[in-house]
């Protein structure tokens, strides 16, 4: 199990990486939107790229918000001193969280351990 300092360093790095991904996706989405507007105005073929960018952006934003909710606002945040909470968060990060781990973090149960694909 990771130490508290290792966990906090990982979470800081994860948040920074997610912030960067979201910023890049926002820039790309804005550029695609501008290109689509230009294409529509000129009667050219409308580019479908922004739809994919919206989906990817939503997925990353959702993961970013989930981590913030778990660590800052959710049910788990109110009992940070629970000795089992760090292990549950480690298991979630490593994609091996059991239903008990997920419940401890305030997440719904999946019915077992997640597999390699995250399903």
Range of the domain at 59: 4-73
Q: Do 52 and 85 reside in the same domain of the chain?
A: no
Q: Given pLDDT bands bounded at 50, 70 and 90, which one contains residue 71?
A: confident
Quick check: helix, strand or coil at residue 118? Answer: coil
Whether residue 87 is found in the same domain as residue 45 = no
Q: How many CB atoms lie within 10 A of CB 25?
A: 18
Separation of alpha carbons 22 and 16, rounded Å: 10
Note the pLDDT of residue 107: 82
* 3-state helix vs strand vs coil in the chain, percent to 5: 70, 0, 30
Confidence of residue 115 (pLDDT cuts 50, 70, 90): very low
Q: Note whether 32 and 47 are within 8 A (CB).
A: yes
> For the chain, what is the domain count?
2
**Same structural domain for residues 27 and 68?**
yes
Q: In this structure, are 18 and 68 located in the same domain?
A: yes
pTM exceeds 0.85 for this model: no
């Amino acid at each position: 199990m990771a130490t508290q300092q290792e966990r906090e360093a990982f979470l800081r790095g994860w948040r920074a990486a997610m912030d960067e991904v979201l910023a890049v996706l926002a820039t790309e989405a804005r550029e695609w939107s501008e290109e689509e507007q230009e294409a529509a105005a000129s009667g050219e073929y409308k580019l479908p790229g922004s739809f994919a960018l919206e989906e990817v952006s939503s997925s990353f934003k959702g993961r970013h918000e989930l981590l913030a909710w778990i660590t800052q606002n959710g049910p788990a945040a109110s009992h940070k001193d629970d000795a089992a909470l760090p292990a549950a968060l480690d298991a979630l990060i490593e994609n091996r969280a059991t239903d008990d781990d997920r419940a401890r973090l305030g997440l719904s149960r999946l019915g077992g351990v997640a597999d390699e694909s995250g399903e």
